[in-house]
Structures are given as structure tokens and as C-alpha cells.
Chain A
Amino acid sequence: MENIQYINEDLWPGYLGHFAIVTSFVAALLAAVAYFMATQKRNEPESDSWRRIGRWAFGTHGLATFFVIGLIFYLMIYKQYEYQYVWQHVSDELPFRYIFAAFWEGQEGSFLLWMFWHVVLGAMLIFTAKKWETSTLATLSLIQVVIASMLLGVYLGWGDDPTKVGSNPLLLLRYTMDIPLFKNAEYLKLIKGNGLNPSLQNYWMVIHPPTLFLGFASTSIPFVFAIAGLWLRQHTEWMKPALSWALFSGAILGTGILMGGAWAYEALNFGGYWAWDPVENMSLVPWIILIAGIHTNLVARSTGQSIRSTYMFYLLSFLMVIYSTFLTRSGVLGDTSVHAFTNMGLGWQLVAFLGLFLLMSILLMAVRYREIPTPAKEEALASKEFWIFFGSLVFLFSAILIAGSTSLPVFNKIMQYFDPTYKGRVITEAVEHYNKYQVYIAFFIGLFSGFAQYLRWKEPNWKANIRAFLTHSGAALVLACGLSYLTSLWIEMKIWQHWLVLISAYFTVIANLDYLIFVARGNMKLAGSAFSHFGFGVMIVGILASGVNKKIISSNPFMMEGLIEGADEMTARKNILLFKDAPMEMNGYLVTYLTDTLDGLNRTFTVNFQRKDKQGKTVETFDLYPNILYDKSYTKIAASNPSTEHYWHKDIFVHIPSLPEVEQNFELKKQKEDSLKYKPVTLALGQVTPFADALKMGNQDSISNFNYQITMESVDLQPKHKDYNPEAGDKAFGVKLKVQRNDDDRIFFVEPVIVLREQLVYTYSSQIDPLSAKIRLNQEAIPQVFSFEQELNYQTLELGVGANKKWNDLNVTFNGFDRQPKHPDLQLQNGDLAVGAKLDIRTGDGKTYQAEPVFLIRDGQPGNLKVEVPELGLHLRFALLSPKTESIQLLLAKSTPKGQNITVEVASDSLRSDYIVLEAILFPGINLFWAGSLLMMIGLAFSMFQRLRSKLSAQSA
């Protein structure tokens, strides 16, 4: 690019920010080295000074990271579009509350968010981890080095094709693309921001990413403890602090995943909370493995078994987080995911990230494997630890199945690397595929988490326990079967596997309730697990209800009657056409599309649901407000937002997948409007006029004839029209028409309106949607109705204050002067003298109208401002004022609305646009899913707090 002196560019934040990124990277590296040395020399005096360096370096790293984040926020708030990241994610219109969402919309921002949490967690470790500080911070700092390298934005190597390391979030826009715009030194004045994707402009985008990333970041803490345990050969000690962190991580990551589900359900339109999308799957997999780790960790702390597997689970959980980062950010998922990031060319760096920590884990594990203690005596078959371990294997199994299927694109890539002709495979029906296998996982987890509560650690005497075990679990099983039967009256079990899952879910619900009340008996340390398992069971029942039994109620009623073939195709048809004000029956509800309002880019539709009892009395009614968001130019729909009615036992969810073409694109609407073929027809008051129109249909040569009967019933001088907002001074009228098309027995009443406002004519046409016809008034009709000034024949009338006189059939009373008169055409200037005459005009049939004509002296010249009584066709002027006698002279004239021959224009080719395409879904029992899964997270958090409390009380004792 040539040397151009750009105007108004602010370059120092870029330099400063890049400097801070490099500082953050280097300081993290220094911290890693220093903490490594501090750990290696832990028994020597110099360890302390290494640790001091480590702390300083980590502190510097943290400050530099925060500085970069703050700087980007600063640039975003001040809309400095010279920076590519700012330009891409912010726009002038973006509300301030979405500035956070804009920050982490991009990859660089989300890397920074991830680093932010690592810094916070690292600081917590520095303050609380005591003897574990140096060893854990060494690994954590190394993780930070790798993530910071993603933001470096430097090129390594020589020649034409150097390797890009990281992507600098503070790059100037003009470096990122080569377009003629940047030849203009003042380009900044011209550009505006791209802005946050409209479908991401909601509060979920503000709260979901930070929670999820805290979840991801926190999986690294059990990981660094595991590494530290292997490194320092302290194979049992590390597990105590790791467990609390793992519980924390499990609760937060789980909440983050749930928030994603809630977001998808509340604001996106695929109709559900889980779609087995690769991005969803790969956030679930680390969580499942972490939960497996928590369970084996408990086993290890109680019995000394399963230490090796605890190591492996915690290591694997974080490795899966990195793998998931690779999958979603390297572009490898390609077209299999709807919400992966776009490829930034960092693929190799992400592979290196994964490779580094994978290698580190494998090597350490291999070197230390034999020395990790295992008890000589193996677990008893009837012991708690055996079944918990078995359960953990089931978790691992679930994770492998999910991760394996999700990795299919990676497998394809690898195969194609060796064999370029290899044809990549895809999962044909993803949802069915995942559900098919996870059904068994749910069954086993439900079963184990139920009866394991009745088993004892290390079972010393099974014979003594067997009776209690059999009574409790037997009773729980019987109750579970009963509850399952009752549930099947409410929701349908579609395959036998669902029965198994339902029974096992109720089994764990009852067993854990039993355990909480009769076994744990207020022992809060044991309560957390009971909460979580209870919640798991409730969640599974919720999934069977709301997921398996979700019902699309907007299916076409004709199809229900079997008029359209193909059962498989039937289930695919989800949408229904809903005409305005024409109720449709859906699952016992009468559904009516009532109105819509446009507010800025947002168009909200009101859809009413009503249920009636046998007597026809409305027993339930509610409105839903699905809306769509137009793009900036109103030429397409940028986002469609659903609306949901929540009940305690069900949800009714609607969204709008499509609108009439002309309602999606206002430009097209205008074009269509302009191209309508209007044909004139002259009507006489009170008479039926036939009107025929012939139209070419479609692209065939067929011609359709339309024959109408139009009756002009009256001329309305106070017209109403949905688009017309009356203003003072308007001259407006409408004609009331009765319209019938000969091939249709319905009669339509419409009133097109025409308005004369300050020399401009506004036409408000009437659409008869069921006939696809449009009628408007012809401009030539105006003089037919309104007589013009020059045609008026004014007569004078003199009146004193309080006097009344007859004029034709009207009685006019002069009630006095108004010193501060108001008139639409009156704009007072300095030196004006204006006075109004308050008049009452009574008609022969006793109606009274009020009018106030105005007399005005401006620049010494007398003048007046006319008023009209449109209902009477009366024109009034205040012509003269005699101050001595306090009498006034009025000019009166009457014009009769003629309305004899009024020309209207009819277009028979106006396609109807008064409908919405609607999808409506009934989710039974969805609150069971939310409540159950939330309870699971609360149980995890509760266990963590119990552990922290006992740790604190142990310290103070």
C-alpha cells in the first residue's frame, strides 16, 4: 500500500495493546519457568526466591492480560473502527449492554475471556494452595503461555510463506483487507461497524459465554493438581484439594452447558434445548469425564482404590477441553455444525496445544504408573466403590461414544490425508444416532446411582447388610414401577428402552430421597450427592416428557386426516399457515393471529391461544409474541425469535419460520405495490356497479376473469383507516364500499381513504385479502367531495356577543371572544393580534357543533383563518371585528358533498400478505428437565461448600 497519511486514526492503543499481549506471553513463560524451578528445588533454600519470581511474573501476566481486555473494551466503547476487531463486532447502533457480548463474539475475545478466568483461578491458587502453589502454577502458567500465543500475531520463519503465530486482536482494519476504500486518507469518516450478529443480541450472549468459559477454565485446576501429584509423587495428597475444585468446575461447567440449552430453547428456533450439535457435544464430553473423575476421586479418598483412574479422568477432562477448542475453532467441523467459529488459520497451533499437554500427561502417567498405590485387596462385588467405579466407566463410555461420533470429520480428514480418494462419512440422522446409545447410559447411571447409595464402603460384612439392601432397593424398585405406570398415562413411551430408562430414573429418585431422609439424616456431607442423583432422575423423566414426547401441534390438519401420503414426511411437516383473524384448531386450542407491530427493525406478532370447554366458555386464553428482526435494509429477516407460554406442567412454544415474501422484503413490497394493475371504475352513491377485470395468470397464457359487484354506500367525512393518523388541517374522506366477487359468496365492507394535507395527496388503499384485491380512491374524487374555496358562495352574518341568529337551517350563537385562539394554520409572530370567535352551531335536529374561526391582524393588515364543520359541510370565516359594538361579522358558506360519481381503482392482482407461517410445539413436563438438571448442579456446589467448610473448621481447630 502506498504511503498515505491517514486522518483521525488512533494508533497508540494498537502499539500499547500489542506490547501488553507480548508482555502477557513472556511473563507467563517466565512464571512457568520460575514456578517449575521453585518446584524442582522445593527442598532447597533458593526455592523461595524462584517462587517470588513466579508470583511476580504471574502477577505481571495477569495485569497485562487485564490491560489488553480493558483496552479492547475502551476501543469498542469509543467505536474506533480503525481496529478490525472493533469494526467487526461493534456498530453505531449496538446498544451498550451488548458491549460484553460483542467482546467475546470473536475468537480472540473468547481466548482472552478464557485467559481472564485462568488468571483469576491462578490468583486463588496462589493465595490458597499453600504447598501446591508452585507445582500447580507451573502448569497453569504453561497453559497461559499457549493460549497467549494464540493472540501474538507474529510471523515466524523466512521466505514468502512464514508461519503465522496467533491472531492479534488489535490489528488495523486496513491491514486485513485490500480494498480501494483505504486509498482515501479520511476513510474513517466513511465506515461504520459491522456489528454484533443480530441473532446474538440477547442477554444469553452476555451471561452464557463467561459462565461456560469459567467452566472450561476451571477444568484445568483438577488437571494441574493431577500433574502436580504425579510430578511430586504425592499420589494421595493431591486429591483432597482437587476434589473441591472438581466439584466447583462440575457445577459451573454444567451450569454453563445448561445455559446454552436454555438459550437455544428460549431464543433460537430449532425447538428444543439440545440438538447434539458438535459444539454442544464437545462441551458436554469434558463435563461427563469430570463427573467420572469426581466419583473415582471419592472412591480413592474413601478406600484408596481407583487413584490411577482419578488421575486419568482429570487429565482427560482438560485434554477434552483443548480438543473441543480445536474442533470448534480449526474449521475441521466444516458444515456439520451450525455454530462453530470460522477458521482463523490457527489449526496447527491448536494441534500443538493439544499435543503438548497430551504428551505431558501420557509421559508422566507412564513414568509414574507403577508407583501409584493400589490396595492389594480388590473391591468387593457388593461394595460401594465397585459400583461407583463401574458407573464411572459408564460415564467414560458415554463420553467416548459422543466424542467419537463428533470426531467423524477429523477421522475423515486423517483418512483423506493418507488416501485422497477416501470418501468422507457422515452421520445421517444425528439426533437419532446419539439418542439411541445414550438411552442405555441413562439407564445404567440411574440404576447404579440408586442402589449404590445402599451399599457400604469396602463392605466388611455383606451378610449383615444384605437384608437392608434388598428391602430398600426392592421397595424403591416397586415404587419406581408404580410411578412409571402412572407417568405412562401422561406421556407416551415410544420404545421399550424408554420404559427401562423411566423406571431407573424413578428408582434413583426414590432411592436418593430415601437415603437423604433415612440414611444421611441431616448429615450434610452426604446430602450433596443425594441432591445430585435425585436431580439426575428428575432430569431424565423431564427429558422423556419434553424431548421424546414433544409434540408439534402446528401440523397441517389435512395431513392428520391422512390426505397426504407418507408417515415419515408427515412428521417433517411442522409449519402451518395462519391467516390473520382466522382461527385454527391446534391440539384443543383455537389459535388466532391477531396483529403485528413494527418497532425499528423488530416486528412482533400477537398470536392468541384459546381453549373452550364444552359449553363454549373460554377456560384458558393467552397471547404469544414471536418476533422477527429485519436486517438493516429491511430486505430480509435476520433473526426469528420464538415466544413461549410457561405452565408448571408444560410449555407452548411458537416461532415464525417464514412470512409472505413481500413482508420479508420491504423493497420487494414497494415494487409489487407499484406494479399492481389498477383499473378505474366510477361509482354512484347507493348503486350497485359491476366491474370486470381480466388478468394473465402466472407464466402460463391462461387468463382469469374476475367479476365484482361494488356498491358505494356512503361518503365518510371522518374516515378511519389503520395507516392513517389524522392531523389537524387534513381534508380527508373515505367511501364505504360493499364488495362482492361473483365466484365467492362472501361480502366485504371496505373503506379506502384519501387525504389532502398541505397540497399533498395521500391515498390509503384497502386490501381485501381473501380476494387478493386492492381498492383505492382516485385523486379525481377529491373535488367531487370537497368544494373549493372559489366555488363557495359566502354569505355574511353579523352577531353581537351572546346573540344568536338563524342561517339557513342552522342556529348560530356567538359565545364570546378567545384572546388566545388556536388554529392549525396559526403560527403567531411578533406584533400579531389574533382573536377567535367562540361559536355554537345547532342544527335543526338538535345537534350542536362548536367552531372557532380566527381574526388576525398581521403587519397592520386584517386577515382571517377559516374553519370547517365537515359534518355539515359548513365553512366559516371571521371577517370583521367592530371593537365599539363588540360585534363580529362572519362569512358562512355551505358545500354539499356531491359524491354522485366517485372513481375508485381496483387491482385484482394484489397477492394476499395477511398471514404468518407458524410452528407451534408443546413441551410436556419441560420444567422437570430444568429443575432436575439445576438440582444436579446445586448438589455439586453444595458438596463443594460442605468440603470447604470442613476444611475451614479443621484449620481453625
Chain B
Amino acid sequence: MKKIYVVAIIMIAVAISLIVNAANDMSTYSTFSEAGSISHKVKIAGKLAKDKPMVYNPEKDPNHFSFFIRDTKGEEHKVVLLKAKPQDFELSEQIVVTGKMKGKEFIATDLLMKCPSKYKDEEVYIKGEEKKG
């Protein structure tokens, strides 16, 4: 057998083991009730509960921003993001938070949000600063 084939077979074996291993890095979008029962980090996708308070008081703690999101199952929980409040947060359509449950709160270390694109909301700026849709 050619040596190159040996190499190739070894590499394929490594590749398979890596891919099996990599599956641990992946997860499905979780829900709050699932997150409560597992200890590792999960991602939760949900919508911002706009009627609940959003609190960012940098004078007290610049790394503490709390808000409520409703997950795909409709369950609502308080989320604490250990970062500054992102710009345009109120406009977000969908939010993905990464973190763990801690008691009744979800402690998030990362947040991704999907905002209506600047161009998609089709606002035409009228001269003189007023907007018209």
C-alpha cells in the first residue's frame, strides 16, 4: 500500500473522531426550562418582553444589564447580561443569549440580536429631519 494512503486513512480516522468530538460544541437552541436542568452553557433564542423593565445602571455596575425575554415556548425569564447595554437593543426582533441559569435568572455572557436592517424598514428621510414612512 502506498504510504500516502496510510496517511490519508489516519487523517480520516482523526477527522471522524474530531467531528464526533465537535458535536459536543454544538447544541440546539434551548429553552429556559431545559436550561434549568443542565449545568453547561446553552443558547436561548427569544423575543424581548418589551413591557418588562430593562435596567442598565452603569453607576452601580457597568457589566450588568437586565431584561426579560420570552423563549420559543413562551416562557418568560429575567436575563442578566454581563456586558454593557447594546445599542439599539429596544429595536431587536430576536435575541440569542448564551449562558447558564442561576436560580431564576439566566446569566448571559454573550448576546446576539437581530435588528431590522437599517434599509429594510424602508424609511425615507425627508429633508428637514422629520421622517415619513
Which residues of A are at the interface with B, using a C-beta cutoff of 8 A?
A: 88, 91, 177, 179, 181, 189-194, 197, 334-336, 338, 342, 378-379, 381, 386, 389-390, 393, 397, 400-401, 404-405, 408, 423-429, 432-433, 436-437, 556, 566, 568-569, 572-577, 632-633, 636-638, 640, 657-658, 660, 912, 915, 917
Contact = CB atoms under 8 A, between A and B. Distances in A.
B56 to A, nearest CB: 7
Nearest to B12: A397
B51 interface: no
Given A191-B125, A426-B27, A428-B41, A88 B119 contact: yes
B85 interface: yes
A912 B59 contact: yes
A390 B11 CA distance: 10
A427 B25 CA distance: 6
Secondary structure of the A contact surface, majority rule:
mixed
Nearest to A637: B87
A632 B125 CA distance: 11
Nearest to A337: B112
B49 interface: no
Given A427-B26, A575-B63, A378 B124 contact: no
Nearest to A628: B87
B59 A657 contact: no
Contacts of B42: 428
Secondary structure of the B contact surface, majority rule:
mixed
Contact of A917 (B15, B19, B62, B98): B62
A182 to B, nearest CB: 9
A20 B83 CA distance: 51
Contacts of A404: 19
B127 A658 contact: no
A397 B107 contact: no
Interface in B1-19: 2-4, 7-8, 11, 15, 18-19
Given A426-B29, A428-B42, A572-B63, 7 more contacts: A342-B117, A379-B4, A428-B25, A573-B82, A632-B125, A657-B84, A915-B58
Contacts of A428: 25-27, 41-43, 98
5 contacts: A179-B132, A335-B112, A437-B18, A556-B61, A577-B62
A952 to B, nearest CB: 36
Nearest to B119: A88
Contacts of A660: 58
B84 A568 contact: no
B20 interface: no
B133 interface: yes
Nearest to A636: B87
A108 B128 CA distance: 30
A79 to B, nearest CB: 12
Contacts of B58: 575, 577, 658, 660, 915, 917
B73 interface: no
A566 B107 CA distance: 11
Nearest to B131: A633
Contacts of A336: 112
Given A335-B96, A575-B62, A426 B26 contact: yes
B92 to A, nearest CB: 10
Nearest to B93: A335
Given A194-B119, A556-B63, A423 B28 contact: yes
Contact of B109 (A338, A423, A572): A572
Task: Give 9 nearest A-B pairs by CB, closest first.
Answer: A657-B84, A658-B84, A573-B63, A572-B109, A572-B82, A575-B62, A423-B28, A433-B25, A917-B62
Nearest to A405: B22
B124 A179 contact: yes
Contact of A192 (B88, B120, B127): B127
Given A428-B27, A428-B42, A912-B59, A389 B124 contact: no
Contact of A633 (B88, B114, B129): B129
B25 A429 contact: yes
A429 B24 CA distance: 11
A919 B113 CA distance: 21
Contact of A575 (B19, B83, B98, B118): B83
A332 B57 CA distance: 36
A575 B118 CA distance: 28
A336 B112 CA distance: 8
B84 A575 contact: yes
Contacts of B43: 426, 428
A637 B4 CA distance: 57
Contacts of A633: 129
Given A572-B63, A575-B63, A658-B85, A191 B28 contact: no
Contacts of A576: 62
A390 B22 CA distance: 23
Interface in B96-132: 96, 98, 107, 109-110, 112-114, 117-120, 122-127, 129, 132
A192 B2 contact: no
B126 A335 contact: no
Contacts of B62: 556, 575-577, 657-658, 917
B4 A177 contact: no
Contacts of B61: 556
A433 B63 CA distance: 25
Interface in B34-75: 41-43, 56, 58-59, 61-63
A436 B25 CA distance: 10
A424 B83 contact: no
Contacts of A917: 58, 62, 84
B111 to A, nearest CB: 11
A566 B41 CA distance: 14
B114 A335 contact: yes
Nearest to B45: A335
A197 B122 contact: no
Contacts of B96: 335, 426
Given A190-B127, A569-B109, A181 B132 contact: yes
A192 B120 CA distance: 17
Contact of B94 (A335, A379, A405): A335
B87 A393 contact: no
Contacts of A426: 26-29, 43, 96
Contacts of B8: 393
Contact of B2 (A335, A378, A432): A378
In this complex, the member of B62, B85, B94, B132 whose beta carbon has the largest number of chain A beta carbons within 10 angstroms is B62
B54 to A, nearest CB: 11
B4 to A, nearest CB: 7
Contact of A429 (B2, B98, B122, B133): B98
A393 B127 contact: no
Nearest to A394: B11
A575 B86 CA distance: 13
Contacts of B29: 423-424, 426
A917 B60 CA distance: 11
Contacts of B98: 428-429
Contact of B3 (A181, A386, A572): A386
A179 B107 contact: no
Contact of B126 (A192, A390, A405): A192
A637 B84 CA distance: 13
Nearest to A575: B62
